[in-house]
């Protein structure tokens, strides 16, 4: 008997009496389990999905990837672009009942900048100080102009947490997170479920149309789809491309997808601890050879049924930030072998870690077969996703495969990954020229100037190749016909205001 069936049976025999008569629950199948539920510390895509329901931000993005108000109702820049002033929404409460005001915003931003475990430091590196310039007004004073700051505040760096809980729990805030979103935290059982419930005092509560959300990590897409069809799930995110036709033909399901601004990639450990001391980590020619042995277009057809986009940069070829001087390379086994020979190798053993979900496993098996023709003997190491990220952070890997969901500003796809002190620089790549270019790109309000900087940086990165970009996958959903009002967002987040269940 599945855990879902046991739960349904238990509810039927008495637990329902504890719920309102019209209580409705939305059950969402996630591809992975989230890491720590602290916006300052977390880094997983599925964690951000949970935050979208639990933690409002200063600003959000709309369906056109434009920045729109959320906790901040309006904002203005000084003429020199070094001061950002934001008006904070009146009447907002945290889940613990405390008011959300300018002081609470300042406390969160300062926590993001100073908490030893914070991964938001590089995102807020341009901020010299943040202060309450009024009860509901916040002023950011910057060290240098930073046109990326608003985009950073539309994500985890701008999620405002309750000061009292943050102070009491410190680095353990994720054990009982308190935010100001439409749903509040109830419980979490690792690898099993995250449960949220409707927050009755939410500032926009009329748009909350379900009482409870349960997120269930189910890496196996076949199992996830079976649970959706049996009624044990209402929405399944990132379903396998091979299931798209089946979902479209199912009268009880709806299919939806959208290609976001992120990327799929492999991270080469070039400087993170003892395991960086390996041929692949020390010689860029071997990384270049590995990349040339991959047929990115074929991966799109074999693994993603033609729904993905081949890529070799942190921006998709459809993006205005894509460097057209570096087109997606065709597979070239002979050149790959030549580079290996120049590096002194005819064959090379590599351990490649990846998440243990269906799609990634299939993709890694395809790549394993492709690069073998150039002389790379790849051993695959499948692991749970949060563990994979922990191993990346610790440097306990040689080559690691993970995705980045992408940001609306190009800085969000690059800076924190490849600058010397970047918050998610797990490869520990450090090139002062790349730092200089990416830091300068943050300061210019002129997109053409920024484009020159990003083009120059991507050219260096394409040569050094600490990150091997593979392409850009769609966010694909299978949705029960009982669910109404859900539409995929371009950033892959699941916005649930206005979503109901029959």
Q: What is the mean pLDDT of the chain?
A: 93
pLDDT band at residue 13, thresholds of 50, 70 and 90? very low
In three-state secondary structure terms, 246 is helix
CA distances from 181 to 39, 43, 420, 469 (A): 13, 19, 34, 34
Q: CA-to-CA distance for 400 and 423, rounded, in angstroms?
A: 17
Give me the residue label for tokens 């730092």: 435
pLDDT band at residue 27, thresholds of 50, 70 and 90? very high
Enter the DSSP assignment of 412: G
Residue 66 pLDDT exceeds 50: yes
CA distances from 387 to 148, 171, 382, 402 (A): 30, 18, 10, 12
Residue 2 pLDDT exceeds 90: no
**Tens of pLDDT, residues 411-466:** 999 999 999 999 899 999 999 999 999 999 999 888 999 999 999 999 999 999 99
* Residue 259, pLDDT score: 79
What share of the chain has pLDDT > 70, as a percent? 96
Backbone dihedral region for residue 209 (phi beyond 0: left; psi -120 to 50: alpha; all else: beta): alpha
Q: Helix H segments across 314-446?
A: 333-342, 358-372, 385-394, 415-418, 432-443
What share of the chain has pLDDT > 90, as a percent? 86
* Residue 4, pLDDT score: 39
pLDDT band at residue 7, thresholds of 50, 70 and 90? very low
Q: Report the pLDDT averaged over residues 471-478.
A: 92
Q: The whole model's pTM is what?
A: 0.80
Q: What are phi and psi of 119, to 5 degrees?
A: -100, 5
Q: Report the pLDDT averaged over residues 15-34.
A: 74
Order of strands across the sheet that contains 309-310: 309-310, 467-472, 263-268, 399-404, 348-355, 376-383
* Residue 490, pLDDT score: 87
């Amino acid at each position: 008997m599945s855990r879902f069936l046991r739960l349904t049976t238990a509810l039927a025999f008495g637990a329902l009496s504890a719920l309102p008569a019209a209580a409705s629950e939305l059950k969402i199948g996630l591809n992975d389990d989230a890491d720590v539920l602290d916006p300052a510390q977390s880094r997983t895509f599925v964690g951000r999905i949970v935050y979208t329901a639990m933690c409002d931000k200063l600003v959000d993005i709309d369906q056109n990837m434009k920045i729109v108000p959320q906790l901040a109702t309006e904002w203005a820049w000084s003429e020199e672009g070094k001061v950002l002033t934001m008006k904070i929404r009146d009447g907002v409460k945290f889940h613990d009942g405390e008011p959300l005001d300018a002081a609470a915003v300042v406390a969160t931003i300062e926590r993001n900048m100073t908490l030893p475990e914070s991964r938001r430091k590089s995102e807020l590196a341009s901020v010299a100080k943040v202060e309450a310039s009024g009860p509901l007004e916040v002023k950011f004073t910057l060290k240098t102009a930073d046109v990326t700051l608003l985009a950073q505040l539309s994500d985890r760096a701008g999620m405002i947490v309750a000061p009292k809980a943050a102070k009491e729990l410190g680095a353990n805030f994720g054990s009982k997170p308190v935010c100001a979103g439409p749903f509040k935290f109830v419980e979490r059982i690792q690898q099993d479920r995250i449960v949220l419930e409707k927050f009755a005092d939410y500032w926009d509560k009329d748009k909350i149309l379900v009482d409870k959300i349960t997120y269930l990590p189910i890496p196996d897409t076949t199992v996830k789809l079976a649970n959706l069809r049996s009624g044990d799930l209402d929405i399944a995110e990132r379903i396998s491309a091979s299931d798209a036709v089946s979902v479209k033909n199912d009268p009880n399901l709806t299919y939806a997808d959208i290609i976001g601004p992120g990327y799929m990639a492999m991270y080469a450990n070039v400087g993170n601890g003892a395991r960086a001391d390996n041929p692949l980590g020390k010689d860029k020619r071997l990384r270049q050879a590995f990349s040339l042995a991959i047929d990115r277009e074929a991966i799109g057809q074999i693994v993603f049924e033609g729904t993905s986009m081949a890529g070799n940069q942190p921006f998709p070829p459809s993006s205005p930030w894509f460097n057209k001087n570096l087109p997606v390379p065709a597979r070239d086994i002979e050149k790959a072998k030549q580079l290996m020979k120049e590096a002194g190798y005819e064959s090379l053993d590599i351990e490649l870690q990846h998440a243990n979900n269906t799609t990634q496993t299939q993709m890694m098996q395809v790549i394993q077969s492709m690069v073998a023709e150039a002389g790379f003997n790849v051993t695959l190491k499948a692991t749970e996703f949060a563990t994979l990220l922990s191993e990346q952070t610790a440097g306990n890997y040689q080559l690691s495969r993970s995705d980045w969901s992408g940001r609306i500003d190009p800085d969000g796809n690059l800076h924190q990954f490849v600058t010397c002190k970047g918050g998610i620089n797990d490869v520990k790549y450090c090139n002062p020229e790349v730092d200089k270019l990416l830091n300068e790109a943050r300061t210019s309000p002129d997109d053409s100037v920024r484009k020159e900087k990003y083009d120059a940086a991507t050219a260096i990165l394409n040569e050094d190749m600490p990150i091997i970009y593979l392409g850009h996958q769609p966010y694909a959903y299978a949705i029960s016909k009982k669910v109404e009002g859900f539409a995929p967002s371009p950033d892959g987040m699941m916005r649930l205001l206005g979503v109901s269940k029959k």
